[in-house]
Chain A
């Protein structure tokens, strides 16, 4: 039996063969039956192989394009939490394809380690710790004192005890975050003074607005948190994304925690992770719409986007820029700069791809246009 499987190792990839092994064992197939099964797997696998000259790129494009026309503009809502609005459907798909630096709705799913994820109170405590707190939130009022040329921040005691902060802590944070300021404590308020003499009113106003945004505690960029029970454990949905800082938190399960910001994954975890993130994010959108696109198409697209080592969008400044042919680049969106650049450097178009050959009315080197004919010349034999 083992010999039989060994024979097929050349033709069938290992995971498929292993699965066949367990299944044949499970159904107790005879050697003859096993052989016929393996033969069938082999022919099926051979049939699934892509033939030389198959236009996989265009098939991928069409596989996305056609279901794209059926997508509905409907945003997905979490039950009972209207603040968790996430871009979905076609707009989100375009966002992924364009490899935008900042997604319109960054969202994180924070998984916790098993020992922390069971009790709701503990999870809530962690969630509160993750959530970003700004000075604005621990203060009740911001006052501009024009005469004294300072900003008075009235603190909210209740909030401060909630976050376990003293006014001294806050004063220190302010000093650390703002340049050229001194902070005086005065009962329930802090007075921020600029060290610059004769400060303009507009600058004072700017100082006030800046001080509102000062980060006090939590993970930067996490605007809202929402603990939720998913299957047997509690996870934390976050509006806003900051993978790097999140991974430093002790209680979280770094392996399962994810964000929908592909660019951030690329920065933090590397381009391979970004490739996987693109695949996952596209699958999520497609699945939500009830559509079905073969994963190989998605993988091809993700590969094309990340092949250079950085994430490139399917745009004229992204992967189209990578094309070799001048004519192919010129035929997409902005012809003039491409033609001018090519003329300046004296580029040569090898006419090796689709568009340029269509333009010249030459057979495209794909499918029937791929094979060439060679005549084998025999020297004429004199009689």
Chain B
């Protein structure tokens, strides 16, 4: 007896599970039961599982019966004209498998591999991969872990994310200025709309070192390329303000705040606001400039206070440019939201020109940040006068085994010289030999290396440099969003230690392990200096060991417990420790400070 489960619920027993499963499948192929059903017999646990629920990933494969593919030449002739893909599914020639039914299937990669044991045939080997993975050219020449990481990075690349981006208010979006279609492309890029929404640029890359500024995955970028628009992008950030309604008929007001308002900033901060309290388009704004002026009723009003004078006081609650950001006001919308409140949204744009620290990557998980931007006249050049846009470190390749990266450079060179797209589809790409042959015919060395000259001295490099074209992506991680430093600033109320976080102008934490490094180096006095951000002066009574104070009226130090007759001395402590002593006292533990002369 075998248990049968429908969508994880037990529904009954059957005698012959194999026959049962076979029957369900054949009925599905005949379309007498819905095609969304998948059935799976687990021999280990002796269970049959039928699935019809939503949210299962399924993929199409061709059905194989008795060692023969059901999809024949006849179908192929008619396909696209009389016959559609959906017809093949209806006829039971192609069926969709989910993850569990795949366990019962033996899928052949190619038609020639089919044996009588096989149950299915892959439509194309590329169907094993997802969209992102299949977009990578030559990915069968790349290690799988790199492919996975590479996929993640393609999702982070800048491009034209949507055609109507100018009408949208998406948070944190970037648009690449001169996006291009890859010249080494994959079959998938033709069937997906990706080719209309490109996400990178074709550039010239040279694999060499340059003054040591491209070690450890950093890259050298040609200043001339940047000036011509390489990697240039625009960053959009929307700011929005809503006129909220509060109890007692009070509400926010979008307006240029009056000087009497609580928390008024300064006249300069409000200078871009027009009469309606909203900034005008094309205003160049910097940090602390107000974008939308707003005043709100006081907080924590309850009961009768709503009618008191306090209710007439207004508090400043304008929205200003985020810490460390700048830009130009791009677009202003004044509208209403679902609750009928006035809603103002302002989109700020900022052109981001590649700078040192910005992240770039090829499609093969070869990511790197800019280490140096070299003036065009100092870049190395080939005999033909070609200067690379990017200089890439040769050490990035051998240990990672991203052969596909090298092949794409070769393919890109052939493509750009011959003016034809190169097909880099996985398992079905243009062979390396052919590309080498073509390159030779085009008048270049077949291994894509060229003699190059030092841009600064004009000397010939002893080595031949591998140079070619590759599709490069600008990734969304830019230093402009990360850059942060602080000398002094806000502190936490409780501990008087600096607050955390870049957005609030916080400090950089020197943590426990960093502290250990200071100690290990014996730099105790430096460590003390690092940690004195919360130092305070504490008066200690020599008699009771508790904290005293300075009495400003009598102008002398006193101890609240022992009076002014005892000796009270000032010592310097971290505020955090003073807090600990106070907390101990709250626990009825008497922490006593015994003072003695240090030396």
To the question of whether A and B form a pair in one complex, the answer is: yes
Q: Are A339 and B589 in contact (CB-based, < 8 A)?
A: yes
Q: Are B577 and A360 in contact (CB-based, < 8 A)?
A: yes
In the bound assembly, the distance between CA atoms of A40 and B151 in angstroms comes to 58
Q: Are A374 and B599 in contact (CB-based, < 8 A)?
A: yes
Residue of A nearest to B580 (CB): A359
Which residues from B are CB-within-8-Å of A339?
584, 587, 589
- With A54-B522, A55-B522 in contact, is A363–B528 under 8 Å at CB? yes
Most chain A beta-carbon neighbours within 10 Å: one of B513, B521, B576: B521
Interface residues on A, range: 20 to 34
Q: Are A360 and B519 in contact (CB-based, < 8 A)?
A: no
Q: Which of B519, B525, B577 contacts A58 (CB 8 A)?
A: B519
Most chain B beta-carbon neighbours within 10 Å: one of A59, A339, A362, A373: A362
Q: Which of B527, B574, B598 contacts A359 (CB 8 A)?
A: B574
- With A58-B519, A367-B523 in contact, is A359–B576 under 8 Å at CB? yes
Residue of A nearest to B589 (CB): A343
- Binary CB contact string for chain A from 339 to 383 against chain B (1 if under 8 A, 0 otherwise): 110010000100000100011111111111110111000000000
> A53 at interface (Cβ–Cβ under 8 A)?
yes
Which residues from A are CB-within-8-Å of B513?
65
Which residues from A are CB-within-8-Å of B534?
361
In the bound assembly, the distance between CA atoms of A230 and B353 in angstroms comes to 65
Which residues from B are CB-within-8-Å of A348?
594
> A61 at interface (Cβ–Cβ under 8 A)?
yes
Which residues from A are CB-within-8-Å of B524?
363-370
Q: Are A359 and B577 in contact (CB-based, < 8 A)?
A: yes
In the bound assembly, the distance between CA atoms of A361 and B534 in angstroms comes to 9
Which residues from B are CB-within-8-Å of A61?
516
Which residues from B are CB-within-8-Å of A354?
519
- With A58-B519, A59-B520, A361-B535 in contact, is A368–B574 under 8 Å at CB? no
Which residues from B are CB-within-8-Å of A361?
528, 531-532, 534-535, 572-574, 577
> B487 at interface (Cβ–Cβ under 8 A)?
no
Which residues from B are CB-within-8-Å of A59?
520
Interface of B, secondary structure class, is helix
> B461 at interface (Cβ–Cβ under 8 A)?
no
Residue of A nearest to B587 (CB): A339
Q: How distant is A279 from chain B, measured CB to nearest CB, in Å?
A: 22
Q: How distant is B508 from chain A, measured CB to nearest CB, in Å?
A: 18
Interface residues of B in 560-599 (CB under 8 A from A): 572-574, 576-577, 580, 584, 587, 589-590, 594, 598-599
- With A363-B528, A364-B527 in contact, is A55–B572 under 8 Å at CB? no
Residue of B nearest to A63 (CB): B520
> B515 at interface (Cβ–Cβ under 8 A)?
yes
Q: How distant is B477 from chain A, measured CB to nearest CB, in Å?
A: 24
Which residues from A are CB-within-8-Å of B515?
358
Which residues from B are CB-within-8-Å of A373?
599
In the bound assembly, the distance between CA atoms of A65 and B580 in angstroms comes to 29
Q: How distant is A331 from chain B, measured CB to nearest CB, in Å?
A: 10
Which residues from B are CB-within-8-Å of A209?
none
- With A58-B519, A359-B576, A361-B532 in contact, is A369–B525 under 8 Å at CB? yes
In the bound assembly, the distance between CA atoms of A374 and B573 in angstroms comes to 23
> A9 at interface (Cβ–Cβ under 8 A)?
no
Q: Are B589 and A340 in contact (CB-based, < 8 A)?
A: yes
Which residues from A are CB-within-8-Å of B594?
348
In the bound assembly, the distance between CA atoms of A31 and B525 in angstroms comes to 48
Q: Are B522 and A368 in contact (CB-based, < 8 A)?
A: yes
> B76 at interface (Cβ–Cβ under 8 A)?
no
In the bound assembly, the distance between CA atoms of A292 and B30 in angstroms comes to 67
- With A339-B584, A360-B574 in contact, is A58–B516 under 8 Å at CB? yes
In the bound assembly, the distance between CA atoms of A269 and B164 in angstroms comes to 80
Interface residues of B in 264-316 (CB under 8 A from A): none
Q: How distant is A309 from chain B, measured CB to nearest CB, in Å?
A: 29
In the bound assembly, the distance between CA atoms of A365 and B517 in angstroms comes to 15
Which residues from B are CB-within-8-Å of A343?
584, 589-590
Which residues from B are CB-within-8-Å of A62?
516-517, 520
Which residues from B are CB-within-8-Å of A364?
519, 524, 527-528
Interface residues of A in 54-99 (CB under 8 A from B): 54-55, 58-59, 61-62, 65
> B167 at interface (Cβ–Cβ under 8 A)?
no
> B526 at interface (Cβ–Cβ under 8 A)?
yes
In the bound assembly, the distance between CA atoms of A368 and B519 in angstroms comes to 10
Which residues from A are CB-within-8-Å of B572?
361
- Binary CB contact string for chain A from 235 to 266 against chain B (1 if under 8 A, 0 otherwise): 00000000000000000000000000000000
In the bound assembly, the distance between CA atoms of A365 and B522 in angstroms comes to 9
In the bound assembly, the distance between CA atoms of A357 and B517 in angstroms comes to 16
In the bound assembly, the distance between CA atoms of A364 and B523 in angstroms comes to 9
Q: Are B574 and A53 in contact (CB-based, < 8 A)?
A: no
Which residues from B are CB-within-8-Å of A365?
524
Q: Which of A53, A340, A360 contacts B522 (CB 8 A)?
A: A53
- Binary CB contact string for chain B from 496 to 532 against chain A (1 if under 8 A, 0 otherwise): 0000000000000000010111011111111110011
In the bound assembly, the distance between CA atoms of A145 and B18 in angstroms comes to 44
In the bound assembly, the distance between CA atoms of A374 and B525 in angstroms comes to 18
- With A343-B589, A343-B590, A373-B599 in contact, is A363–B525 under 8 Å at CB? yes
Which residues from A are CB-within-8-Å of B587?
339
Q: How distant is A131 from chain B, measured CB to nearest CB, in Å?
A: 35
Which residues from B are CB-within-8-Å of A369?
522, 524-525, 527-528
Which residues from A are CB-within-8-Å of B522?
53-55, 366-370
In the bound assembly, the distance between CA atoms of A360 and B521 in angstroms comes to 20
Q: Are B521 and A367 in contact (CB-based, < 8 A)?
A: yes
Q: Are A368 and B577 in contact (CB-based, < 8 A)?
A: no
Which residues from B are CB-within-8-Å of A372?
598-599
Most chain A beta-carbon neighbours within 10 Å: one of B521, B527, B577, B594: B527
In the bound assembly, the distance between CA atoms of A58 and B513 in angstroms comes to 10
Which residues from B are CB-within-8-Å of A55?
519-520, 522
Q: How distant is B523 from chain A, measured CB to nearest CB, in Å?
A: 6
In the bound assembly, the distance between CA atoms of A354 and B587 in angstroms comes to 26
Interface residues of A in 324-340 (CB under 8 A from B): 339-340
Most chain A beta-carbon neighbours within 10 Å: one of B515, B520, B526, B589: B520
Q: How distant is A4 from chain B, measured CB to nearest CB, in Å?
A: 37
Residue of B nearest to A343 (CB): B589
Which residues from B are CB-within-8-Å of A65?
513
Q: How distant is A346 from chain B, measured CB to nearest CB, in Å?
A: 9
In the bound assembly, the distance between CA atoms of A368 and B528 in angstroms comes to 11
Q: How distant is B106 from chain A, measured CB to nearest CB, in Å?
A: 30
In the bound assembly, the distance between CA atoms of A280 and B286 in angstroms comes to 63
Known: A358-B527, A362-B528. 15 other contacts (CB 8 A): A58-B519, A58-B520, A62-B520, A339-B584, A339-B589, A359-B580, A360-B577, A363-B528, A364-B524, A366-B524, A367-B521, A368-B523, A368-B525, A369-B525, A374-B599
Interface residues of A (CB under 8 A from B): 53-55, 58-59, 61-62, 65, 339-340, 343, 348, 354, 358-370, 372-374
Chain A to chain B contacts (Cβ below 8 Å), 16 pairs:
A54-B522, A55-B520, A62-B516, A343-B584, A358-B515, A358-B531, A361-B535, A363-B524, A364-B519, A364-B527, A366-B522, A367-B519, A367-B523, A369-B522, A372-B598, A374-B599
Q: Which 6 pairs of residues, A with B, have the shortest CB-CB distance?
A: A367-B522, A369-B524, A361-B574, A364-B524, A343-B589, A368-B525
